[in-house]
Structure 1
Amino acid sequence: MQTQSPSTSAAAAAAADDVETTRSVVAQLDGSDQRSANDKMATRVHKRKVDDFIFGKVVGEGSFSTVYLAKDKHTGRQYAIKAYEKLHILKERKSDDVRREKDVMNILTNSGSSLFVRLSCTFQDRGRLFFVMSYAKNGDMLSFLNSMDSFDITCTQFYSGEILLALEYLHNLNIQHRDLKPENILLDDNMHIKLTDFGCSKINNLESEMETLNISNPNENNNGKERANSFVGTAQYISPEIFYEIPTSFSSDLWAFGCIVYQMITGYPPFRCRTDYLIFRKIMNLDYSFPDEFHEDAKDLIEKLLVLEPNKRLGTEDAKRYTSIRAHSFYKGLNFDTLLKTKAPLSCPDNNNYYQVPDNLEPGLGPKQLTRLLVCDELYGHSSKNTNTSLPSTSDAAEGQSTTSCEK
């Protein structure tokens, strides 16, 4: 009888652990361990794999993922592909977040709404999960705000109106976005919006929607209780209830909406400072101001959205969402029913500046391709979050722009 050497046994154990880890990720994020053999065979016929795509450049990076602009080598169509490292997801305990993101994107894709980035398919290799999403070639709203300094009132009415339509749609599906900001608002071929990045989103149960909420003194003792909320979202757009014993709700998205309307008109968010901590203090104290000659109707709208008590924000008591916001004087003359078919006030950039993934690159995302992508990023600068090479990088954000954190 043959016996294994210690080194052979260790290698075998490590391999078994690796297999088990992969199975665990698949089970938690894909649910594939619960599918029948016939389902798996049917899926394999149509399912894409990493070698079916040519990866052109990095167009976005998050805490737990990298987004690439890639081309389907069979159809020539370009996609934004988000890649997650499986071991990183498990290590940081983000399995539920990634699964929730996939569930939300499936719901929105199946709904057929044009207001959201679509999820075309998902696949995986040994170490990564991939989300294949529609590509918005005109980049994000923050890039346009940076290049234009601010929007005029007509432009602000139009784009905030479309964001409101998106929030109505999301909330009617019992979905909170929880990281609404200009960087997560993309512009399609016709310069209409598409919301993206549902990594912080939450699907509400009807019974979990807030009832009567009041904000207590932030300096009061918490009696040793663990806080109901930990950091979710991006500092400048965080609603104040995140700092208290109050669950986030649809009203939290309305707070972020108010911040975005302010930023469209001024070019910068209402709460800004050198550090996140100081930003948080400003939010808790409702410490912001309006520039001289600020549009009066816009000011009134923002003041009714940036309210400390969540259930007192404009729109929260509407029998039908969000009729009171639509009826606000700031939107006088704006036809919400035809908005998505109306010509957008912003013009598309010069088509000659759009990046196209070359056909002669080798498909896949192995070491050689990753090295090429890294060199490309070093040569041309980090335009990760800017899908249009003619626009400034979103790293040149307003003072105090922070990254997203999603901890539940």
Structure 2
Amino acid sequence: MLIENKKQIESNSAKDYIFGRCIGGDSYSLVYLAIDRHSGLEYAIKVFEKRLVRQEQQENTISRQCEAMWIMRNVPGFLQLRQTFQDQRSLYLVMQHARRGNLQGYISSFDGAACRHYAAEILVACEQLHQRQLIHGELKLQTVLLDEQLHIMLAEFGAAQKAELTAATDLRALGCIIYEMVAGWPAEQINLHDLPKDAQQLLKLLLNAPTKFVSYEQLRSEAFFTGIDWQTLRQQIPPLIYAQSSSSEFNASMQSLPNSEDLELALEQQPINCLPKAQPAHASCSIC
């Protein structure tokens, strides 16, 4: 859901949310499903434990990613950041909940039309990112999420330093995604010979992007994208695709935490476990 007005950013404490189960994480953060007590809207809240962030020396990475999410706020094709707040122990990122999961869960149902459509949507999102001098750096099927209408939303973007990676790195990653969609298997050993000619030509451009300049205009004009209406791409109904398994488990997961009294206990059962003394909704993502 895009941020449209000030009312949508009034909540500024973990006590403003009912937390459900943990749905992911890494060595210094956990992601919870949650419901805003005031609006009833669903979100995914990423909770970073500052001690672990410092231990892993990830302060700059998190700050870059948070800054990038604010820059891409209200830009179609990107997971939306609603607000951030922090306390002495943890940093909280309240994000759009991608109920439909990621593209990897659907790839077995892709036909030619689906491959073209989703390749086009990801290409447009990459162009939007690069126009703002941002690099994704982690582009893969798992970081391409889907909204309720099955349009793409890029996630986990912006953490890379420009000195480390370039826009060409994202284009090569897009080539790997398209290969997996068209070929139907991982891009560990890429063999273009069995693919349709138009896919071969596009992938040669993308996979050689780090060593040979290629423009977005050139990519959009490739035969692979014949029939794509670039102006109305996100207004179109995407080709029919099916998830390998249901990714909508939110309602069932919320049953474990129906009352506010349970919130502190539930968070304490996880490695990241502190209720905040809230800071303003637009507090900096810097770790202090």
Q: Same fold (TM over 0.5)?
A: yes
Q: 1:344 to 1:190 in 2, by over 3 A?
A: same
Structure 2, gaps ≥5 residues long: 1-8, 273-288
What residue identity is the alignment partner of 2:238? A
Structure 1 position 268, deviation (Å): 2.4
Structure 1 SS opposite 2:250:
coil
Aligned to 1:102: 66
Partners of 1:51 and 1:153 lie apart in 2 by 47
Structure 1 position 192, deviation (Å): 0.3
Structure 1, gaps ≥5 residues long: 1-44, 209-246, 273-287, 375-408
Contact 2:47–2:92 (CA under 8 A) maintained in structure 1: yes
Partners of 1:113 and 1:363 lie apart in 2 by 37
TM-score between the two structures when normalised by the length of structure 2? 0.82
Q: Deviations over 1:78-122 (max 9, x none)?
A: 10111111011111211111111111011111xx21211111111
1:131 aligns with 2:88: no
What residue identity is the alignment partner of 1:174? Q
Contact 1:52–1:364 (CA under 8 A) maintained in structure 2: no
Match of 2:188 among 248, 259, 271: 271
Partners of 2:66 and 2:118 lie apart in 1 by 26
Structure 1 SS opposite 2:227:
coil
Partners of 2:75 and 2:192 lie apart in 1 by 35
- Max Rg structure: 1
Q: 1:337 to 1:252 in 2, by over 3 A?
A: same
1:88 aligns with 2:5: no
1:51 aligns with 2:15: yes
1:330 aligns with 2:247: no
Partners of 2:68 and 2:121 lie apart in 1 by 20
Q: 1:91 to 1:154 in 2, by over 3 A?
A: same
Structure 1 position 269, deviation (Å): 2.5
Aligned residues: 260
1:59-78 → structure 2 map (5 Å cutoff): 59-78=23-42
Contact 1:67–1:83 (CA under 8 A) maintained in structure 2: yes
Structure 1 position 347, deviation (Å): 5.0
Match of 1:343 among 229, 232, 237: 237
Partners of 1:142 and 1:342 lie apart in 2 by 21
Structure 1 position 366, deviation (Å): 3.2
Aligned to 2:171: 254
What residue identity is the alignment partner of 1:161? A
Using the aligned pairs only, state the percent identity. 32
Partners of 2:68 and 2:248 lie apart in 1 by 33
1:99-248 → structure 2 map (5 Å cutoff): 99-109=63-73, 112-145=74-107, 148=108, 151-198=110-157, 200-202=159-161, 204=162, 247-248=164-165
1:16-31 → structure 2 map (5 Å cutoff): none
> Per chain length, whose mean CA-contact separation is higher, i.e. which structure has more relative contact order (CA < 8 Å, sep 6+)?
2
RMSD between aligned residues? 2.7
Runs of 4 or more consecutive aligned structure 1 residues displaced over 6 Å after TM superposition: 348-352
TM-score between the two structures when normalised by the length of structure 1? 0.59
